[in-house]
Amino acid sequence: MIDHNEYIDKVRADFTKGTLGETDVLADPSEQFEAWLKQAVESEVPELQAMNLATVYDNRPSSRIVYLRKIHNHKFWWYGNYDSKKGQSLEQNPNASLNFFWPELQRQVRIEGVVKKATDDNSDNYFNSRPLESKLGAWASAQSYRLTSRKELEDKLEQLHKQFEGKEIPRPPHWGGWVLKANYYEFWQGRPSRLHDRICYEQQGETWNIFRLAP
């Protein structure tokens, strides 16, 4: 039988796939992120759009994986249920953090900023592009609320199939997008002996200050 604690304690991997210096990065962190994202696409990194979204509610942190769906001019979009735990957290405290981890490239990107709800038009357009089952799922799930059983959810989905049969499915009022406007970026490149490269951008007015952090 595997001793999981012993295994975890002994796992070691060196990081040798790249370097990152202050002169290597672009002046605009949004462009630097898109350059790294392009390299992740070209390297066929699986689930490269997955990002850890961290929020705080009543001084209690919470995190979950969500999918990035759009980026533009330091803005990052994702979608979900406004009544969920993340939705309630962002309503109370709009400060949030994103973390992308691409182990195949031995890279991470941390992004901090302030979150707002996406416009209705943006949310409608994205919802209308979703597959049928995903649209029905948005109606069926009271996300983050307790269920008595899996059957409760399945029965609700079956009811919705009948309700919307042959009809256009509108976006639920409790479902839509969020947009994080970044004010801080950290690009992390793994290096040998845990002496990793950490190049950061901090917004100061209309400019971005670039600096290095100790690993």
What are the beta bridge partners of residue 209? 202
CATH, domain range 15-130+172-212: 2.30.110.10
| pLDDT at residue 135 in the model | 96
Q: Quick one: pLDDT at residue 9?
A: 75
Indicate which residue of 12, 60, 146, 194 is catalytic: 194
CA distance 50 to 99: 9
CA distance 181 to 74: 6
**Alpha carbon distance 118, 153 (integer Å):** 27
Domain ranges of the chain: 15-130+172-212
> For residue 3, what pLDDT is reported?
80
Strand-pair partners of 57: 60
Question: Could you list the pLDDT tens digit for every one of the 215 residues in the chain?
Answer: 778 887 777 777 788 899 999 999 999 999 999 999 999 999 999 999 999 999 999 999 999 999 999 999 999 999 999 999 999 999 999 999 999 999 999 999 999 999 999 999 999 999 999 999 999 999 999 888 899 999 999 999 999 999 999 999 999 999 999 999 999 999 999 999 999 999 999 999 989 999 999 99
- pLDDT computed for residue 15 by the predictor: 85
> How many C-beta atoms lie closer than 10 Å to residue 47's C-beta?
10
Element (H, E) at 155: helix 150-163
Task: Give which of 30, 191, 29, 47 is closest to 107, Cα–Cα.
Answer: 191
Residue 81: C-alpha distances to residues 64, 66, 185 (Å): 13, 12, 26
- What token pair was written down for 29? 């962190």
Can you tell me the distance from the alpha carbon of 40 to that of 180, in angstroms, rounded to the nearest whole number? 21
Query: What is the distance between the alpha carbons of residues 106 and 196, in angstroms, rounded to a whole number?
Result: 10
Q: Is 150 a catalytic residue?
A: no
Largest Cα separation within the chain, whole Å, is 60
